[in-house]
Each structure stands twice: as structure tokens, then as C-alpha cells.
């Protein structure tokens, strides 16, 4: 459970990074069953083995606890954890609610990153390596938001970059 302390709490601006960290912890703790599979059907006969259902339910409880532990208290109350009938949401359904709440803010963040990349210029004050690393960092953040940067974009960037340093 030391993995839990390594997760950056979800604060509204770090959804992709936090979500990836939560996925890793849930998988390492072997509770990812509830994210990958739906709950098994209840047996129709009374004396049938319920082991798989009990395992799934335990994984769901534990995954829900992990997920809720990694959300800042300010945001935790804003995300409903029960359905219309007042029944506790499964971990998978709860994660869908979290994603629903942060998709639009992720788009805003992505557009901010894109504009920053487009307007970023080497200032000749810091090292070239640092500038390139900053650009790569922004590109990786966009990839985490499922927005890929084409090689053509970097080709144009490379051309402009080399032209401005001559």
C-alpha cells in the first residue's frame, strides 16, 4: 500500500497523470479485475460456489477505496458515488463519473499546452537542451491526453528552431 502515497492526488488539473497512477496501483494490488470485467452473474441455484462473485465484490470495494483516497477532498464531494437508486457505484462506474467531470477541463488544458508549444521560442538564456526537454515534456503531456503530435509538427519546429539559432 506504499504505492498509494506515491499517487499525486487528483486536483482538477492533473487528471491524465493521476488516472494513470491510479490504474497502476489498482493493477499492482490485483484489484484491476473490476475495471476489466463486469460483475459475474448471481448463481441461480442456492448451493453454487460464489467465490468468483465474492472476489469481484472485494476487488470492487478495495479499488473504490483506492480511487477515492487519491482524490483531493475538495473534489471528492463533487463526484457522485451513488446511482439514482442510492446504490453505491462500482469502481468502473465511479471512474467513468470522474472522467466525465474532467474531460472538458482536460480539453482546456490540452489547448493551453498546444498554444504554449506553438508560441514557445528558445530565449538563448537557458540551455538548448532545457528548451528541447520542455517541448518534449509538453508533447508527452498531450500524449497523456490522447492527443498525438505529428512528426510534421516537430519537423516544422526543428526547421524554425534551427533557423532562429543561426
Domains contained in the chain, number: 2
pTM, entire model:
0.62
Which backbone phi and psi does 91 adopt, to 5 degrees? -60, -40
Dist. CA 128–CA 126, nearest whole Å? 7
Residue 161 lies in a domain: yes
Identify the domain containing residue 96 by its residue range: 2-102
Domain boundary among 52, 76, 102: 102
pLDDT tens for each residue of 74-101: 788 888 889 889 999 999 999 888 888 7
The closest of 154, 1, 166, 160 to 70, measured between CA atoms, is 1
Burial class (CB in 10 A: 0-12, 13-18, 19+), 59: buried
Whether residues 94 and 18 fall in one domain:
yes
Q: How many helices (H) and strands (E) does the chain have?
A: 8, 0
Are 24 and 63 within 8 A, CB to CB? no
pLDDT tens for each residue of 18-77: 888 888 899 988 898 898 888 888 877 777 778 888 999 999 999 999 999 988 887 888
Amino acid at each position: 500500500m506504499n504505492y498509494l502515497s506515491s499517487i499525486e492526488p487528483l486536483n482538477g488539473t492533473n487528471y491524465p497523470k493521476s488516472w494513470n497512477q491510479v490504474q497502476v496501483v489498482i493493477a499492482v494490488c490485483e484489484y484491476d479485475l473490476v475495471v476489466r470485467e463486469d460483475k459475474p452473474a448471481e448463481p441461480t441455484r442456492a448451493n453454487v460456489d460464489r467465490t468468483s462473485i465474492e472476489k469481484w465484490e472485494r476487488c470492487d470495494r478495495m479499488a473504490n477505496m483506492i480511487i477515492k483516497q487519491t482524490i483531493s477532498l475538495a473534489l471528492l464531494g463533487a463526484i457522485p458515488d451513488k446511482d439514482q437508486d442510492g446504490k453505491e457505484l462500482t469502481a468502473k462506474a465511479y471512474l467513468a463519473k470522474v472522467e466525465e467531470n474532467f474531460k472538458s477541463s482536460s480539453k482546456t488544458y490540452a489547448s493551453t499546452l498546444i498554444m504554449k508549444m506553438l508560441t514557445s521560442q528558445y530565449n538563448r538564456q537557458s540551455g538548448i537542451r532545457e528548451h528541447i526537454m520542455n517541448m518534449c515534456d509538453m508533447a508527452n503531456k498531450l500524449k497523456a491526453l490522447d492527443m498525438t503530435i505529428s512528426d510534421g509538427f516537430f519537423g516544422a519546429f526543428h526547421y524554425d528552431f534551427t533557423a532562429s539559432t543561426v
